Amino acid sequence: MLSWPRPSLQLLLLLIQPAASSLLPGNATDGVQEVIVAAILPQTNTSYAWAWPRVGPALQAALDRINSDPWLLPGLSLRLVYRNSEDRDGLCSHSMAPLAAVDLHMDHEPWVFLGPGCTYSSSHVARFTAHWDVPMVTAGAQAWGFWEHGTVTNTGPTHKKLGQFAARVQDAFGWRHRAVLLYTRDTGDDGPCFFAAEGLYNVLLDRNVSTYHHQLHDVDYRALVQDIRDNGRVVYACCSRDVFRTLLVQFWRDGVDLKDYVFFFINLFADGLEDRGPVRPWFRGDSEDRAARLAFRSVKVLTYYQPPTPQYLQFTEDLKRNAKKMFNFTITDSVYNMIAGGFYDGLMMFSQALNETLSQQRPGPGPVPRPRGDTLTHKMWNRIFPGE
């Protein structure tokens, strides 16, 4: 049986002093006790859906709502502190993020961490937050491994859900065999395609759908077409649009009957599809447009979709206005906003869990001590997965 190449979510071997987490009280002034919530997110690189200019306004909005509610956390006031998780090149960093977490923990004793979003940064920070017994809430950290982690609360779309969606599609059409997973893995990045494919692979494996996976690297398109023909008919591809289009054109050139195939192009944030005008993912304005257009009749593009409820539309309106005001950042790609929505929900859920935890405690003299992280986390989980 094929096995999935395990991702290297290895532990960053920092030696830290245990017992740093003695449930210290927060700072009490004017009878109102301050509770710190700490965000760790990429500061400038808005190609990340969880970049600070995208998410910061949502967290501030949640915070204002919580602090202006006299019943939610009486006697407490939440304050947001923030550190950057990027390295000097503007990339998600698995070394910066845990250092930011340690600094925040030492300086502020936060009661919750929001973020990081990227996979490797999150996996490192999650080990610290588990050790400190402080909840970590994120709308990123989509990889399969966080599902098994047990200490991370995920309020955004995950790759497990993506896999479950694919399993539903496979089921609905009675496809039991030969799903093909194509994915790129560029060194140095956060492996978004690798982890998306991993989610699909694990769920389909559970459902006894046989899969064939292929990592794209210096692609020989002719050989790849043959490889896919030999191994499957339902193809899930996570790669650049150019690679995908070239592959489809090669199928066309080779005279393959594309009616026998279905291709799912994984483009979760609809990158490049939100431009004004008709959606034409095959279009390049070159001599291959015609072949590409015909071949793309076998293609479905998979993107995230947030049902546009009135509340969500209002939320995104406010988000856009505040991103402009706070960060002079113009949001154009609306699919990304659901991640900011996930962070907003995450902070609301945390405050709800905190409310419930504190109301079950006997109030003592002096400041409220920080509740146990696992207690809060479990209360949040009940909310995220009602009935599961």
Counting contacts by CB under 6 A, is residue 189 touching ligand NAG?
A: yes
Q: Considering the complex, state which of residue 27 and residue 352 has its C-beta at the smaller distance from ligand NAG.
A: 27
Calculate helix-pair angle for 96-108, 119-132, nearest 10 degrees: 30
Of 48-77, binders to ligand NAG (CB under 6 A) are 48
Q: Give me the residue whose beta carbon is nearest to ligand NAG.
A: 90
Contacts of 201 (CB under 8 A, 6+ apart): 4, 163, 181, 211, 213
Backbone angles phi, psi at 95, to 5 degrees: -100, -35
For residues 258 and 266, what is the distance between their CA atoms, to the nearest angstrom? Answer: 19
Cis amide bond preceding 157, omega within 30: no
Q: Considering the complex, state which of residue 89 and residue 257 has its C-beta at the smaller distance from ligand NAG.
A: 89
Q: Considering the complex, state which of residue 48 and residue 128 has its C-beta at the smaller distance from ligand NAG.
A: 48
Region of 42-50, 70-78, 245-253, 337-345 interacting with ligand NAG (CB under 6 A): 42-50
Question: How would you label 46-61 residue by residue, b for 16+ Cβ within 10 Å and e otherwise?
Answer: bebbbbbbbbbbbbeb
Using alpha carbons, select from 169, 170, 236, 227 the residue that is nearest to residue 199: 236
For residues 124 and 122, what is the distance between their CA atoms, to the nearest angstrom? Answer: 5
Counting contacts by CB under 6 A, is residue 45 touching ligand NAG?
A: yes
Counting contacts by CB under 6 A, is residue 29 touching ligand NAG?
A: yes
The least distance separating ligand NAG from the CB of residue 258, rounded to whole angstroms, comes to 30
Region of 69-77, 85-93, 212-220, 375-383 interacting with ligand NAG (CB under 6 A): 85-93
For residues 292 and 310, what is the distance between their CA atoms, to the nearest angstrom? Answer: 38
Task: Give the DSSP letter of residue 25.
Answer: B
Of 236-295, binders to ligand NAG (CB under 6 A) are none
Q: Considering the complex, state which of residue 7 and residue 367 has its C-beta at the smaller distance from ligand NAG.
A: 367
Site string for ligand NAG, 348-387 (x = CB under 6 A): ----------------------------------------
Region of 12-20, 45-53, 61-69, 351-359 interacting with ligand NAG (CB under 6 A): 45-53
The least distance separating ligand NAG from the CB of residue 304, rounded to whole angstroms, comes to 17
Q: Considering the complex, state which of residue 88 and residue 259 has its C-beta at the smaller distance from ligand NAG.
A: 88
Q: Considering the complex, state which of residue 89 and residue 260 has its C-beta at the smaller distance from ligand NAG.
A: 89
CA angle (328 as vertex; 324, 330 as ends), nearest 5: 55
Site string for ligand NAG, 190-209 (x = CB under 6 A): -----------------xx-
Task: Give the DSSP letter of residue 29.
Answer: E
Using alpha carbons, select from 53, 116, 106, 125 the residue that is nearest to residue 86: 116
Residue with tokens 């995208």: 54
Counting contacts by CB under 6 A, is residue 90 touching ligand NAG?
A: yes
Q: Considering the complex, state which of residue 85 and residue 123 has its C-beta at the smaller distance from ligand NAG.
A: 85
* Residue numbers at the binding site for ligand NAG (CB under 6 A): 27, 29, 45, 47-48, 89-91, 189, 207-208
